[in-house]
Amino acid sequence: MTEIKYTKDHEYIAVDNGIGTVGITHHAQEKLGDITFVELPAAGIALQQGKPIGVVESVKAASDIYSPVSGTILEVNTALNDKPELINQDAEGAAWIFKIKLSDASELGALLDRDAYEAFVAAEG
């Protein structure tokens, strides 16, 4: 079963069998507006939870992407190089940014579930 968690920086991670699929949330892409560029991390690099690993740029702003967990990047979504606007169309689906092999699944406990994330977004205004 896939477990989906969220960060307060508006990333999501969908975890299945120790592999996480990471992207920015629908809420984040709405706030950014039209996405014009995505700086993708490199496959094979090790990440630490909470560290910046890329950038999403829009007509309004540039926003860092943070890794929700520690681990090693297995794959990046290279389709975003040519079509960054996919994030606006399907942020929490086809427009995932990278896949990561978790090094410490207990880090998921520090993240928000959907209800907590939605309450956080509502409180942000």
| CB atoms closer than 10 angstroms to residue 116 | 13
Residue 100 has what pLDDT?
98
Residue 84 has what pLDDT?
98
Is the pLDDT at 88 greater than 90? The verdict is yes
Tokens of 102: 């978790």
Tokens of 105: 């699944």
Highest CATH level, class, for 3-104? mainly beta
Domain edges within the chain? 3-104
Residue 62 has what pLDDT?
95
Residue 89 has what pLDDT?
97
Is the pLDDT at 125 greater than 80? The verdict is no
Beta bridge partners of 57: 37, 62
Cα-based distances in Å from 64 to 53, 74, 88, 115: 7, 20, 16, 24
Residue 105 has what pLDDT?
96
The three-state secondary structure class of 97 is coil
Q: Which pLDDT tens digit goes with each residue over 1-35?
A: 788 999 999 999 999 999 999 999 999 999 999 99
Question: Ramachandran region of residue 124, left (φ > 0), alpha (ψ -120 to 50) or beta?
Answer: alpha
Residue 124: band (very low, low, confident or very high) from pLDDT cuts 50, 70, 90: confident
Phi, then psi, of 49 in degrees rounded to 5: -55, 135
The pTM score is 0.96
Q: Which position has the token pair 């809420």?
A: 27
Alpha helices in the chain (DSSP H): 26-32, 79-82, 86-90, 114-124
